[in-house]
Amino acid sequence: MRFQHKTALVTGGTSGIGRATCLRLATEGARVAVLGRNAAEGAEVVATIKKAAGQAAFYRCDLAQPAWVTRAVHRVLTDFGSLDVLVSNAAVMTYLPLLKLPLTEWDNVLNVNLRAFAQLCQLCLPTMPAGSAIVAISSVHAHQTTPGVAPYAASKGATEALVRALSRELPIAQTRINAVAPGAVDTPMLWANPNVQNGTEKIEGAIGRPEDIAAAVAFLASADAAFIHGTTLVVDGGRLAQL
């Protein structure tokens, strides 16, 4: 029970890796604030946690809109008092070459995947006590990628850079910050990717489960990772290591 008496906020908590992370943190004792856009899916996650005697609440939030982010975090803090763990997980992808990509799409990807992470840090950090932790979900696309996903790959590379940069501003004993870079994981986002559907993005090895990533997030957020700060843990079943 590494998160007993602790509160965690997870963005994109209603599906895939975010949902699995909410369940994992709750299983280990955390009170979980589930942020997402879909109220019905949010209610399902909260009900699943409560059925297992855990504590959770859903907060509707469109991360593309800074005022929603501010409002959601204030509501979470009003309900739970403070935050021990922040998991910045939600993200979007586009599937167009850069030359055909409307700038509005570029802005949306960068706003949801990167700016919202920075804004959440601004809002949450002042309330986070000693021993707290932030985990951002990056991607193997920060390291190797395919055509047509430039803003996503750029947002994930920048996420890892932001994690590194913020680790220089955060004393390790106060708040640690790290990223997890998943490989192919069985979620709606993986199968919605046309590059995966048409084989441009080859998935030759094992496909991970959302729970595999949630386990890594829980590790990095816990005191077991007390000396890990400013780094990215690749969790990809060995995919990036292949020649």
Binding site for ligand NAD (CB under 6 A): 12, 14-18, 36-37, 61-64, 89-92, 112, 137, 139, 182, 184-185, 187-190
Residue nearest to ligand NAD (CB): 16
Q: Give Cα separations from 5 to 28, 80, 113, 205 (angstroms).
A: 10, 11, 29, 39
Q: How many Cβ atoms from other residues are within 10 Å of residue 38's Cβ? A: 13
Q: Tell the smallest beta-carbon distance from residue 137 to ligand NAD (Å).
A: 4
Amino acid (one-letter) located at 59: Y
Closest CA to 79 of 87, 67, 71, 90: 71
Which of 188/199 has CB closer to ligand NAD? 188
Q: Does 152 qualify as catalytic in the annotation?
A: yes
Min dist. Cβ of residue 227 to ligand NAD (A): 25
Q: Which residue has the tokens 């949630």?
A: 214
Based on CB atoms, which residue is closest to ligand NAD, 18 or 148?
A: 18
What is the closest distance, in whole angstroms, from the C-beta atom of residue 96 to ligand NAD in the complex?
A: 17
Which of the residues 152, 158, 159, 182 is marked catalytic?
152
In whole angstroms, how close is the CB of 109 to ligand NAD at the nearest point? 9
CB closer to ligand NAD, 61 vs 128: 61
Cβ 56 to ligand NAD, closest distance in Å?
15
- Encoded tokens for 109: 């990807």
Residue in the block written with tokens 């992808």: 93
The smaller minimum CB distance to ligand NAD, of residues 131 and 211, is found at 211
* Residue 37 or 131 with smaller CB distance to ligand NAD: 37
Catalytic residues: 152
